[in-house]
Amino acid sequence: MAEAKSSKKTVYAMLVLAFLAIISLLYYISAPAYLYIVAYLWFGFLYGVLQQYGRFCFASAWRDLIMIKVPRMFVGIMIGMMVFSVIAVFIFTYYPDRYHTTPLGLHGLIGGLLFGMGMVFAGGCATGSLYKTGEGNMISLTVLLSLAFSQAIFAVTIFDRIFDKFIAGLPSFSVTEILFGGSEGGHVDYAQYSFWQHFVGDALLNAILVAMILLVAVYIIVVRKGFLQRRVQAAAANADGGTPKTGFMDDLAGFWSMIASSKRTAIAAILIGVVAATQVFTLGWMAKKYDFVNFGNVLVGNTKSGGEPPATWPDKTYPDDVAMRSGDTVFDPGYWYITTQEAMFAGWTMKAAGLSRETMEDNHYFGDYNGLPRPWHSPALLLSFGLILGASFKSLLAREFKWKFPSRELFVYAVIGGTLMGVGARIALGCNIGAFYAPAAFGDPSGWVFFVGMGVGAYLSAKIVNWWANRKMADMDFDIDIEI
C-alpha cells in the first residue's frame, strides 16, 4: 500500500517535469528569444529543489535561534552566503554591470524590522513561502498573496512619497569602493577594480569577516554552554574522580559541531550559490546573444545594437507590458530575486480587474523600470513559478508533499505576516534575498543593515507568538501529575 502510494507520488513528480518541459517547448516554438525567460523558469526549478532539500528559509534562521535555540539555519545560511560572496567576485570580474548597490540608510533597518516581524508570523520568509507552497502548503500561498497585494497597494499609494523624502538622496556604495576609491562623481564602473580588489573588499571584509564574527557570537551566546556541559558530563562519566576542565580545544570542537549539525542547509546553500552564479552568467550570455539589455526590449522590439529585431524575437510587440515611464523595460534582475515579481503579479491583476495603466504605473516602483507585464512575460515571475514546481517535484519524490489548508488562526497569522513582509520589503527596497543575501555577498554593507532589522523584528514577533502559544497551552489538559 505504502509502496503504491510512493510510486504514485513519483509519477506526479515526473508529471511536474513533463509540464515544465512542455511549457518550455511552447515558449521556444513561439519565439526562440523566449528561451531567456525559460531559463528563469528552470533556474527557479533548481532553487526550489535545493531549498526544499535544505529547508532553506530565513524566517527559520532568526526565529529558531531565538525561540528554540536551534542555530542550524542561521549557520547554514551564513556558510552559503560566504561561498556566494566568493562566487560574486567572479561575477563582478566578468559581468561588472550585473549588480548595483542599494542606498544605505534607516529605511533598511525599518523595512528589515517589519519584514522580520512578518516572516515569523507568516512561518516563512518570502522565498521560504514559495518553496513551502510547492510542498502543498496553502498557508504559505496565503502568505504569498498577502505579500504580493500589500506591496502593490503600498507601491501605488504612499511609497513614492517615502522614497522621495527619505531614500532618494541616500548614498550607496560597496566596501571595495570605500577601500580603493574610484566612485568620485557618482557613477561607479566596477570593471575598474581587479579580481583581488573585489575579493578583499567585497568577499573577505563585507561577507566573510562579518559572517564569521556572527557565527562566533552565535556559538558563544547560544551553543557554548550546553555543549561544554554535555562534554564535561561525558568526560566525568569516563574519568575517575575530579572535575574535568574545558579549554580552547573543546570550544573549537563545539564550534565545529555547530557547523556540522547544519550540514544539510549548508550543502543546499552552497549549491544555491553555484546555481545563482550560473544564472547570472547564463542570462548575461543569453541577453548578449539575443541582442538586448533588458527583456522588456524584446517585448517592444528595441534591439541593443539598434538594428531590426532578429528572426528569433517574437513577431508581435507588447507596448503595454513594459514600464510606462521607461518605455522598454520590465523587471529583469538577472539574478535570484523574490518579492518584486509577486508585487507585479498583484499589480497586473489589479490592472486586469479594471484599474487604469496610469493609476497603476504612474509611480517609481512600477512605472520607472519594472512595468506590469502579463505574468507569462514576466521573467522573474517565471522564476517564482519554477521555484514552486521545483519544490513540488522534490517533496513528491521525498514523500513530503501534503496539501495543507489554513485554519482560522493560521490564516490570520499568514495575512498579517505576509502584509508586514510586503510593506517591509518595499520600504527596504527588497526582501531577505534582494535586500540581504545578495547585497551582503556583493560587498554592499546595506545588506547587513537589513539583516539587523530582520533580527530585531523576528525577536519582537517571537515574543508575541510565544505569548500566544503559552495562552493556548494553558487551556490544554495535560493530565500529568507534576512533582514540585
Partner 1 sequence: MKFSKIDDNNFELDVTGYVCPHPQLYTLKSMEKLKDGMVLSVLIDNPSSVESVEQACSEKGFTILDKSSPKSGVTAVKIQK
Residues contributing to the site for partner 1 (CB under 8 A): 2, 5-6, 9, 52, 55, 57, 59-60, 63-64, 67-70, 72, 120, 123-124, 132, 135-137, 139-140, 223, 226, 230, 261, 264, 395, 398-402, 404, 407, 410, 462, 465-466, 469-470, 472-473, 476-480, 482-483
Which are the contacts of 235, defined by CB distance < 8 A and separation ≥ 6? 244
Q: How far is CA 139 from CA 34, 167, 395, 406, 441, in A?
A: 32, 33, 17, 5, 31
Q: Report the residue number, 308 or 483, with the smaller CB distance to partner 1.
A: 483
Q: 469-472: long-range contacts at Cβ-Cβ below 8 A with a sequence spacing of 24 or more?
A: none
Which are the contacts of 90, defined by CB distance < 8 A and separation ≥ 6? 195, 277
Kindly provide the b/e burial profile for residues 218-250, where b requires at least 16 CB atoms within 10 angstroms of the residue's own CB. Answer: bbeebbbeebeeebeeeeeeeeeeeeeebeeeb
Min separation Cβ 117 and partner 1, Å: 13
Min separation Cβ 226 and partner 1, Å: 6
Q: Report the residue number, 187 or 402, with the smaller CB distance to partner 1.
A: 402
442, 334 Cβ separation under 8 angstroms: no
321, 369 Cβ separation under 8 angstroms: no
Min separation Cβ 295 and partner 1, Å: 33
Q: Report the residue number, 237 or 311, with the smaller CB distance to partner 1.
A: 237
281, 92 Cβ separation under 8 angstroms: no
Q: Report the residue number, 265 or 339, with the smaller CB distance to partner 1.
A: 265
Q: For residue 259, what is its C-alpha cell? A: 557547523
Q: Report the residue number, 7 or 30, with the smaller CB distance to partner 1.
A: 7
Count other C-beta atoms under 10 Å from residue 278's C-beta: 14
Q: Report the residue number, 69 or 100, with the smaller CB distance to partner 1.
A: 69
Q: Report the residue number, 67 or 287, with the smaller CB distance to partner 1.
A: 67
Q: How far is CA 121 from the centre of its chain?
A: 17
How many alpha carbons lie under 13 Å from residue 134 in its C-beta half-sphere?
A: 33
Min separation Cβ 57 and partner 1, Å: 7
Residue 404: what are its φ and ψ, rounded to 5°?
Answer: -140, 125
Sequence letter at residue 271: L
Q: For residue 246, what is its C-alpha cell? A: 574545558
Q: Report the residue number, 165 or 408, with the smaller CB distance to partner 1.
A: 408
384, containing H or E segment:
helix 379-397
